Amino acid sequence: MSVLVFAMAAGLWFLGKRMGTPPQARFLMLALLYVAVLFVTVALPEGNPIREGLGGPGQWIILGVGVALVVAYRRVWSRVRDRARAVEAERAQVESPQEGPFSEGELNRYARHIALREIGGPGQRRLKEAKVLVVGAGGLGSPALLYLGAAGVGTIGVIDDDVVSASNLQRQVIHPTDRKGEPKVHSAAETLGALNPHVEVRTYNRRLEPDMAAALVEDYDLVLDGCDDWATREAVNRACVATGVPLVSGAITQWEGQVTLYDPARGAPCLTCLFPKAPAPGMAPTCAEAGVVGALPGVIGSVMALEAIKEVAGAGRGLRGRLMLWDGLDAEVRTVGVARRADCPVCGAVAGGGGAAA
């Protein structure tokens, strides 16, 4: 009798196919047949010849579970396959080695970015077309530069007037030991060239001074400030306010660090909004004076690079109007809202959205 049921199922399927019945309707007919058989095997008493011929409910329940598992597996596999095809199709729109913006080597390099819904091919193309300036090739600049280069930021500028010293090597991971005495910008450029040959690195072996800051900054889409002296921070801030270029700023001391995105042109505060006056002597000691745990600049510099990637690619919610505070000693992180000051002497006259909420 079981053979008869399977014959009926086959007949329903092929008859429906011959009549042009959609597959969904044919599956429904088979499901109704299965339910009818299962009902008969459960409803009829033991010993009934029809129930005995059908084999009892146990084998039909096992069959139903097996079929359900196969159907579920096929659906999951179909979704995975469709997602993979969608990713490949998106890649195909940007990957033509002869005509598109990416070579085959770049596509393999950035495949994990392209697979991200928030970045994809368009976001990776924006990264390639972006120009980002990093002020300082030291503790914060080192990880920021490494991750910007690895991410495929097309043009990276780096400005610093210092040379590599032995005391830098505990945390400034972009510089190897054999480059002691070399200008940091040249050492950084050499490392980035080895890391990603598709990136252009512009080096400025000098201190960023107020009289040339705006002219330098206006050639870039985004600035990262990882320097360790107040005068340079103020010069970078004023230059970014004057040119309307967003500024990702990081700072560290001992076990603690902070990151924010200054951008008065788009409603966020500038450095002077938060810190109207330079810190009093001794209140903001340098890393050389206060010390710093080696991994801390890696954390904060990497966050700076992440915020830069998000800002360029247009992904997620950034730190515009928010200040992230990191306490490495107690493993705590919190974010507080920061707002523009209408009376700020640097950005008070700049048009932009209102103060940012927490």
- CATH code: domain of residue 179: 3.40.50.720
307/180 same-domain check = yes
How many H-runs (helices) and E-runs (strands) does the chain carry? Answer: 14, 8
Rounded distance between C-alpha atoms, residue 65 and residue 47, angstroms: 25
- Looking up tokens 């320097």, which residue turns up? 227
DSSP class of residue 277 equals S
Return the structure tokens found at 228. Answer: 């360790």
Rounded to whole angstroms, how far apart are CA atoms 152 and 175?
A: 20
Question: How many domains does one find in the chain?
Answer: 2
Helix/strand/coil percentages in the chain, nearest 5: 50, 15, 35
Q: Are residues 90 and 144 in the same domain?
A: no
User: Where are the strands (E) in 232-307, listed by range?
Assistant: 247-253, 256-262
pLDDT at position 74, please? 75
Tell me the residue type at 107: L
Asked if 300 and 259 count as a contact pair (C-beta separation under 8 A), the reply is yes
348 assigned to some structural domain: no
Its domain, for residue 13, covers 2-95
Residue 68: what pLDDT? 75
77 or 48, greater pLDDT: 77
Flag whether 61 is in a domain.
Answer: yes
CA angle 198/247/150 to nearest 5° reads 20
Hunting for tokens 């800051």 — which residue is that?
213
Calculate the average pLDDT of the chain: 85
Q: Please tell me whether residue 83 adopts helix, strand or coil conformation.
A: helix
CA atoms within 13 A of residue 347's CA, in its CB half-sphere: 34
* 3-class SS of residue 88: helix
Which residues on adjacent β-strands are paired with residue 86?
none
pLDDT at 20: 66
Residue given tokens 């299962």 in the structure block: 38
Residue 96 has pLDDT above 70, yes or no: no
Looking at residue 10, its pLDDT comes to: 66
Q: How many percent of the chain have pLDDT more than 90? A: 63
pLDDT class of 140 with cuts at 50, 70, 90: very high
**Residue 249 gets which letter from DSSP?**
E
- Tokens 């054999």 appear where? 178
pLDDT value for 59: 67
Tell me whether residue 309 is in a domain: yes
Q: What is the pLDDT of residue 85?
A: 64
Q: What angle in degrees, to the nearest 10, is found between the helix axes of 141-151 and 296-313?
A: 40
Own/partner contacts of 4-8, CB < 8 Å, gap of 24 or more, are 5/33, 5/37, 5/54, 8/33
Tell me whether residue 223 is in a domain: yes
Amino acid at 175: H
SS3 assignment, position 278: coil
**Whether the predicted pLDDT of 2 surpasses 90:** no
Same domain, 207 and 315: yes
Q: Are residues 38 and 143 in the same domain?
A: no
183 assigned to some structural domain = yes
Sheet containing strand 256-262, edge to edge, reads 200-204, 155-159, 131-135, 222-225, 247-253, 256-262, 322-327, 332-337
Residues 69, 161: one domain? Answer: no
The reply to whether 215 falls in a domain is yes
Least confident among 68-82, 164-178, 201-215: 68-82
Q: Is 356 domain-assigned?
A: no
HSE-CB of 176 using CA atoms within 13 angstroms: 6
Both structure tokens of 279: 């810190």
Q: How confident is the model at residue 350 (pLDDT cuts 50, 70, 90)?
A: confident
Q: Please determine, for residue 165, whether its predicted confidence score (pLDDT) is greater than 70.
A: yes
Q: What pLDDT sits at residue 355?
A: 42
